Amino acid sequence: MGAAGAVSMAALAMLVALAAFGGGGTATAAPTAPPSNTADPKIQGVPEEGETLTGEPGNWKGTDPITYSPQWQRCNASGAACVDIAGATSPTYQLKAEDVGRTIRLRVTATNKDGSATATSRPTGVVKAASAAAPRNTSAPSVAGTATVGQTLTGNEGAWQGTAPFQFAFQWQRCDKDGNACANISGATAKTYRITSADAGHTLRLRVIASNSAGSTTAFSRPSAIVSGGTQPPPPPPPPSGGPAGQIKLPSGETSIPDSSVSLPNRFIISRFRFTPNPLRSRAQTITARFRVTDTRGYVIRNALVFVTPLPYGWTTQPAETLTNTNGWAQVQMRAKQALPRRGAIVMFVRARKHGDNILAGVSSRRLVQMLVSLG
């Protein structure tokens, strides 16, 4: 081949390359791939009224991106006859009362630029009714009104959690001026109470018992102010002069005697008590309880043995038996345990006894008292 022929072949190769880069060739179109399900959607959660189910779309193949649209469906107990639940188009679904006795399934629609496809989960188990929860007080009962004889107090049951509906029972109680030693007022079981002359010098509070199908719980209001007006009872008579050995005259005008100077038919009386704090608002607080012992003649008793235990056992630490001082007071301290409920009251059994006496006999005295609990 001559020089002219060689030049012609080189020129031809150049023309072919230019044609290819210039778009003169044929392009291969990308294949279409609509969504195709490779693993069914799934449902996680407990099939019980009030619980929340969480859906998973399952596994899909196809052209990315793929978007998923969930639709929850309510089916019969066998998992058939499924119908869409109106508005239930989020990845989660909270079971309702109308779902009880039915099954639930999830339908997922997957969509991309090439099309869409649908897949459904297996149905859940049959949805059960919600487990009943006993009432739990979350805000203590309250009392509104003026603490004056002739005025009317109005109670409020407070706030409660648990399984509705609740039934409320009211009982007004008359307490001492410190809000302790409370006793039911006969017939005072309405939401309102008209204050009588018998309440003068006392405080009043409202006891509320909330009940439902799972049980009942008691809560108390804070004591009212001391009731004014009306005729207040006369003070107790002073202790008689002379008499028992070991008398000490106190600055208050009372007379203190040792426990050994009390014998039958006279008996000890646990006449007063105080709790600090009251109500208890934190398990970190130390409970200080003070109890005063006198006898049926009005003497203040020193060196009496006082034993205190909370009921039920295990709600607080157990203090040791302790002696009353010259003024007749015994003091013990306790700490709340984790078993202590957040609301309500601690009932305490208190016993005062004489040295050497049988704990269930002699001049001993027993009493049940309570303090309020309102943990934050």
244-273 per-position pLDDT tens digit: 888 999 988 899 999 999 999 999 999 999
CATH 2.60.40.1930 intervals, the chain:
248-374
pLDDT in tens, 34-61: 999 999 999 999 998 888 999 999 999 9
Which two tokens mark 184?
A: 């039911």
Rounded to a whole number of angstroms, the distance between the first and last alpha carbons of the chain is 106
Reference 208, options 137, 271, 260, 309; nearest CA is: 137
Question: What is the reported pLDDT for 371?
Answer: 87
CATH of domain 248-374: 2.60.40.1930
Fill in the amino acid letter for 137: N
Confidence of residue 151 (pLDDT cuts 50, 70, 90): very high
Indicate yes or no: pTM above 0.75.
Answer: no
Q: How far apart are CA 326 and CA 100, in angstroms?
A: 67
Q: How many CB atoms lie within 10 A of CB 215?
A: 13
Percent of the chain with pLDDT over 70: 89
Instruction: Answer whether residue 127 shows pLDDT above 60.
Output: yes
Read off the DSSP letter of residue 24: I
Grouping H, G, I as helix, E, B as strand and the rest as coil, residue 217 is strand
Q: Which range among 70-74, 95-99, 168-172, 337-341 shows the weakest confidence by mean pLDDT?
A: 337-341
> CATH assignment of 36-127?
2.60.40.2700
The answer for residues whose C-beta is within 8 angstroms of residue 83's C-beta and 6 or more apart is 73, 74, 75
Domain with CATH 2.60.40.2700 in the chain: 36-127, 136-227
Give the pLDDT mean for 288-312.
92
Fold of 136-227: Immunoglobulin-like (2.60.40)
Dist. CA 116–CA 93, nearest whole Å: 23
The DSSP bridge partners found for residue 333 are: 288
pLDDT band at 22 (very low <50, low <70, confident <90, very high): very low
